[in-house]
Copies of this chain bind each other. A is one copy, B any other.
Amino acid sequence: MNLTVAEENYIKAIFHLQQAEGNVSTNQLAASLNTKPASVTDMLKRLTHKNLLNYEPYQGVTLSKDGKKQALTIVRKHRLWEFFLVDKLQFGWDEVHEVAEELEHVRSKKLVDKLDAFLGHPKFDPHGDPIPDSNGIMATIRQFNLIDINPTAWVEVCSVGIQSAELLELLRHKNIGIGTIFQVIRKFDFDHSIEISIKNSKSLNISQQLAQALFVKLV
């Protein structure tokens, strides 16, 4: 069953929204897709008719088993292309989302799998989000917000909460990226800033705002 670009965008949006909050509302979808609630209702009916959603009028939606499978192949394509753009074409990770938003709709199983192999079967995209494999299975690691980590713990940066150019600029300046390993040294109550020490390197200060944008795993 072949989906249109619009249908795929809806499926993907529902997938992401339901991760965070279970049942997804019409208004949430309208906001996330930059469209109007009335348009969303139309589309929900169409996707329900195609058995991709569990939809109860006025009660919001979730993806059906089929819908979830579709969503995972779109997410896989999106993240593989993002990896390609950053790793091979030298895009900054703040520039790739828009382009990947189009590339994710190119239909060719062979293309995706060959791209995956060409890239060396990456497990995470440039923002640290896991890439589903061809069976829709993706790594799930226990992530914590840096703001919640206590001193002396060693951690590895595994994703970012925001993808702005400004964040990227700051991280580059501080020499921090996905995969960087460091130890939390101290937390300051006054401004909630954090002192960290990057593996064999000098220690540096992380502001509250920055800490809130960084997700790490314990190592």
Interface residues of A (CB under 8 A from B): 85, 88-91, 95, 98-99, 102-103, 105-108, 110-111, 114-115, 118
Contact = CB atoms under 8 A, between A and B. Distances in A.
A99 to B, nearest CB: 5
Nearest to A107: B102
A156 B89 CA distance: 32
Contacts of A110: 91, 95, 99
B108 A98 contact: yes
Nearest to A90: B114
Contacts of A105: 102
Q: How many copies does the complex hold?
A: 2
A103 to B, nearest CB: 6
A102 B106 contact: yes
A77 to B, nearest CB: 12
Kindly list the 9 A-B residue pairs having the minimum CB-CB distance in the complex, ordered from nearest.
Answer: A89-B114, A102-B106, A99-B108, A99-B111, A89-B118, A88-B118, A103-B106, A89-B115, A90-B114
Contacts of A103: 103, 106
